[in-house]
Amino acid sequence: MPEVRTWQLASGAAVVGLALAAGAVAAAGPWDSGQRKAERQWAAAQSPVGGVHHERRRPEGPAPSAPGVLAALGAPRAATVSAPKAAADLAKVLAPLLGDPGLGTVRTACVVDVATGRRVYEKGAADPMTPASTIKIATSVAALSALGPDHRIPTTVVASEDARSLTLVGGGDPTLDSAGLRTLADRTARALRDRGVTRIRLAYDTSLYAGPLRHPIGPNVNISPVSALMVGEGRVDEKSTGAATRSGDPAGDAARAFGRLLTERGVASSAAPAPGRAAAGTKPLARVLSGPLSALVERALTNSDNDIAEALARQTALATGEEASFAGGERAVTGQLKRLGLPLAGARFADGSGLNREDKLTAGLLTTLLIRAADPAHPELRPVLTGLPVAGFSGTLQSRYTETSPGTGLVRAKTGTLSGVNTLAGTVVAPDGRLLAFAFLAANTPSREAAQPALDRLAAALAS
């Protein structure tokens, strides 16, 4: 995978105050838990598609991020104008774009040269703002630093001594799907047959998580009750994406589905599954594991997945000895970012997903998080970069850039959208080969339709 490796070398080399040898970068890893590979394969197989408002034809071949990014970052940097002159020129370009009325009445911005750590543009970079889903960058950094990219979340079946009482124990895996539940049922039924057991009592345990199940926004199509046990993210239609009808009882639904699967495999239940804690003396009988945390982070960032993001905050809490709740997640994320030496003045992490308007971040903190994710001293944070959507190509930026935009394929960024709040934070390759980290946050915006193109023009300007 030469393209992937070249991108990985480049993004790893662009760090604060350091020039990293290629051999050291290659050894640093982990570089790819699937997202970049999936991008290349998806692009190669892509046929013309129709958008919501108009049809557009996508280019064939490698991911559009590959040619521009790799050529720019792989080549020696050409001589450039002085830093003050470059910053002044950039200000002349960005200031009018930041004044777009589509960005509402409050706008902040920060642009940093990742290789030097020097801010090349800022406006209110230290002012706390509601970040919407760009807070997922912070949640992801905290989770990866606390647990490591290889951590996997278990879902377990434990049994009494005689194996006639089973408890399905949720470990907090938001990505458990029907296929995974079937695998768990297969393993459980096999273990029971080996013991001659064909009839059981089934309970389910969600006690790993504490506090309110519901997000403070209440029942919402963008997030399920935050439970330690769920299948298909609690979606009524597991195949649905984005906003979707959600179950009010994802744990109960998962347990009932598991009971049905056991029945199909010759293990009958004496009653409907009941909630409860695993009794003392129970022993592990079977389990399945989530994908590596690196893959969960990439999925959360690419698709702006709220359910995964809230699970990441709770897993961070568990890893740091905090209660796995909204409040415990806030303490855990804050603590992890403090350990990384990040500037947290004015920051608040009321949730992991960004749905809570009480969340606060600064543009300066967002760019610092991105810089830290490129730091070779923290290779465990690399999935934060590889998980960012690619402009005009993947995730929440798939339909936001046209093929003629100078930002297409060069901008990688996390989007954020609430009513009256629109944000964008990520990385972009400048024409002279510099990797820039940027964050633009806007409040009191008139509409998503007005704000998003204005943010996209800001990021595209950095690429042009």
The DSSP letter of residue 399 is T
Q: Which helix (H) or strand (E) is 429 found in, with range? A: strand 421-429
Are 313 and 352 within 8 A, CB to CB?
A: yes
Q: Which residues are the active-site residues?
A: 133, 136, 304
Are 448 and 417 within 8 A, CB to CB?
A: yes
Among residues 387, 386, 388, 381, the alpha carbon closest in space to that of 144 is found at 381
The position carrying tokens 């209660």 is 323
Tell me the C-alpha distance between 130 and 125, whole Å.
13
- End-to-end, the C-alpha distance of the chain in Å comes to 28
Tell me the C-alpha distance between 228 and 220, whole Å.
18
The number of residues making up the chain comes to 464
pLDDT for 23? 29
Among residues 303, 297, 291, the alpha carbon closest in space to that of 243 is found at 303
Are 212 and 328 within 8 A, CB to CB?
A: no
Other C-beta atoms closer than 10 Å to the C-beta of 49 total 11
Among residues 460, 459, 446, 400, the alpha carbon closest in space to that of 102 is found at 446
pTM of the predicted model as reported, rounded to 2 decimal places? 0.85
Tell me the C-alpha distance between 68 and 442, whole Å.
29
Question: Inter-axis angle of helices 35-45 and 2-13, to 10 degrees?
Answer: 130
Kindly give, in sequence order, each residue whose CB lies less than 8 Å from that of residue 411, ignoring residues fewer than 6 positions away. 390, 391, 397, 401, 426, 427, 428, 456, 459, 460, 462, 463
pLDDT for 341? 95
pLDDT for 347? 98
pLDDT for 82? 57
Q: Return the structure tokens found at 452.
A: 């998003």
Domains recognised in the chain with CATH numbers: 2-149+295-463 (3.40.710.10), 154-290 (3.50.80.20)
Are 176 and 234 within 8 A, CB to CB?
A: no
List own/partner pairs for 395-400 with CB under 8 A and 24 or more apart: 395/301, 395/302, 395/303, 395/304, 396/302, 396/303, 396/304, 399/51, 399/52, 400/452, 400/453, 400/456
Are 210 and 325 within 8 A, CB to CB?
A: yes
Instruction: Tell me the backbone φ, ψ of residue 297, rounded to 5 degrees.
Output: -65, -45
The position carrying tokens 């093929």 is 403
Using alpha carbons only, give the angle 66, 69, 74 rounded to the nearest 5 degrees.
Answer: 105
Mean pLDDT split into 10-residue runs, the chain, 464 residues? 31 30 30 47 41 33 39 42 69 95 97 93 97 98 98 97 96 97 98 96 97 92 96 92 91 97 96 91 94 98 97 98 98 97 97 98 98 94 97 94 88 97 96 92 97 97 91
Find the radius of gyration of the CA atoms of the chain.
23
pLDDT for 83? 63
Are 293 and 299 within 8 A, CB to CB?
A: no
pLDDT for 47? 36
Q: Say which amino acid occupies 246.
A: R
Among residues 70, 145, 53, 57, the alpha carbon closest in space to that of 337 is found at 145
Q: Return the structure tokens found at 24.
A: 């050291």
